[in-house]
A and B are shown apart, each in its own frame.
Chain A
Amino acid sequence: MTINPDQIIRFSPMHRLQWEEAQQKDVILYPEGMVELNQSSAEILKLCDGTRNLAQIVSDLEEKFTTSGLTNDITAFLEVALKNGWIQQH
C-alpha cells in the first residue's frame, strides 16, 4: 500500500486517537486493542484530519519543528498507518 501524494488523508473513523494522561502519551484505540504512539507519530496522525495531503502534512511539520527533509520518514510512517487501517485516502 502506498500513499497517493495528491489525495487528502484522514484518520479512520473506526479508530480513536486520544491522549492518555496516565500513560503520558497518545494512543490509538480500536476494538479490543491499543497502540501506544511516540511523539512524532502522534504529531503526524493529528494532521491527518481530512484537510491535508502528504506534501501539506510534511510542510506543516517541517515548519512546526523548524527543520527539513522529513518527507521520507513521514511517508514511511503513513504507509504503515495506511496498512494498519489507522488512516484512509478516499
Chain B
Amino acid sequence: MAGSNNIKITPPRWLLAELTYACPLQCPYCSNPIDYANYQSELDTEDWKRVLTQARKMGAVQLGFSGGEPLTRKDLVELVKHARDLGYYSNLITSGYGLTEEKIIQLKEAGLDHIQVSIQASTQELNDHIAGTTSFQTKKEVAHLVKKHGYPMVLCVVIHRENIHQMPEILAMAEELGADYLELANTQYYGWAHANRDLLLPTKEQFEHAEAIAQAFKEKVAGKMKIYYVVPDLYEDRPKACMNGWGTTFLTIAPDGVALPCHSARDLPGLDCPNVKDFSIEQIWNESKAFNFFRGFEWMQEPCRSCDEKEKDFGGCRCQAYLLTGDMTNTDPVCSKSPKHGVIQEAIDSAKASAESANEKPLIFRNSKNSKLLSST
C-alpha cells in the first residue's frame, strides 16, 4: 500500500515547527490533536536547531513557528535568530497573548519576518468566550504594535457558526487595525473542531451570505489588503488538494519531535510517524513509511484510482477520509463521486438539528482536562 519506489520525491518547502502544545487559549476548534495532553515532552533548543538546519539544507524556506502558543517557549528568540541565519522566511503564528512590545522588538532584531495574530471575533464578549480567556484588548494592542514595528501584519480569524454573522464587523476590524493580509479561515473539521462540529458548522446559507460579503470587501481593498479565504470544504463538491499532495511540500514537526506529513496526521492509524530524535530530516522525508504512504497514486481506491482529476486533488484529505469513513485510503467524502458522500449531508443535517434544538449541548473547550477526558474514552 505504501507508495511505490519509482516516485520522484520533491524536497520540502514548508516547515511547520509546533514548538509546544501549551496554550493560554482554549479555542474549541484547535487543530492540535484531541489527546495532546498525553504528549508532555518537548524537544530542546538543540533538537530544534538541528531540525531547522537539516530541513533548510533540503530546501525548506517558509517556516512557521506555531503551537500551542509558541511564545511560551523561552528559547523562541534564539530559534528565530538561528532560522534567520539559515535564510528561512519566518512566520510567528500566535494568539498574541503575552506578546509585549519588548518581545516584538527582540524578535525583529533576531530576524523574524512576520507575525500572524489570531482574533476570535469582532467583539470582546464573543472573542473572550471562544478563546476561553480574556484576551480581546491585548490582541488588538498587539496588532497595533506589530504594525508599528514594521512587520507585515496578518490577521487570522477562524470562521464558524458562532461568529459568521459578524463578517462585516470582522472585515471592518481588519481595516481599522491596518492588516496587510487577512486570513478568513473557515473551520476545518479535525481534532477539536470535529468534536464540536454540531456547534460550529454553519448552514450553507450562512456560508454563502458571509462569502458574498467577504468577496465584495476583497475587491474594495484590492492593492491594500490581501485576503486569504480558506474554503469550507464540506460545502464543496470536489475535495481540497490537501497539503499540495502528501509528502510533496509540507513537513510538520510536533512538540515531542514526531514528524508529520500534515498537522492532523498524528490521528491516522499505522503510519508509525518517525521522531527527529531518531532520524535525520532527510531520512524521514525520503525513506520513512509515513512520508511515503500516500505519495503517488498506487494507494488509491476507486473512484480515485481511475479519476481524471486525481492529479489535481490527490483524492482530497486523508484525515477527513479516515474521520468520516473509517478508512484513510477512501476518497475524501467531500467529493460528490465518493460512494460515502452522504456522510457530508448527515454532518450538515446534524449541525442544523443541533442549532435548532432547545437544549443544545455546550462547546467542549480545548484544555488539558478535556483532552484527558476525551482521550481516555
Contacts and interface: CB of A to CB of B under 8 A. Distances in A.
Interface string A1-16: 1000000000001101
A56 to B, nearest CB: 25
Given A32-B91, A34-B13, A13 B150 contact: yes
A14 B181 CA distance: 11
Interface string A25-53: 00101111110000000000000000000
Given A30-B152, A31-B181, A16 B89 contact: yes
Contacts of A16: 89, 113
Interface stretch (B58-66, B123-131, B301-309): B58-66
B61 to A, nearest CB: 6
Given A16-B89, A83-B223, A31 B152 contact: yes
Contacts of B39: none
A14 B180 contact: yes
By size class, the interface of chain A is 10 to 19
Interface residues of B, number: 22
A13 to B, nearest CB: 7
B28 interface: no
Contact of A27 (B61, B180, B228): B61
Contact of B91 (A23, A31, A85): A31
Nearest to B154: A31
Interface in B204-228: 223, 226, 228
Which of A18, A27, A29, A33 has most chain B Cβ within 10 Å?
A: A29
A20 B150 CA distance: 25
Contacts of A34: 13, 61-62, 89
Contacts of B116: 31-32
Nearest to B152: A14
A32 to B, nearest CB: 6
B18 to A, nearest CB: 16
B73 to A, nearest CB: 21
Interface of A: 1, 13-14, 16, 18, 20, 22-23, 27, 29-34, 83, 85
24 contacts: A1-B223, A14-B180, A16-B89, A18-B87, A18-B89, A20-B59, A22-B58, A23-B59, A27-B61, A30-B89, A30-B114, A30-B152, A31-B114, A31-B152, A31-B180, A31-B181, A32-B62, A32-B154, A33-B62, A34-B61, A34-B62, A34-B89, A83-B223, A85-B223
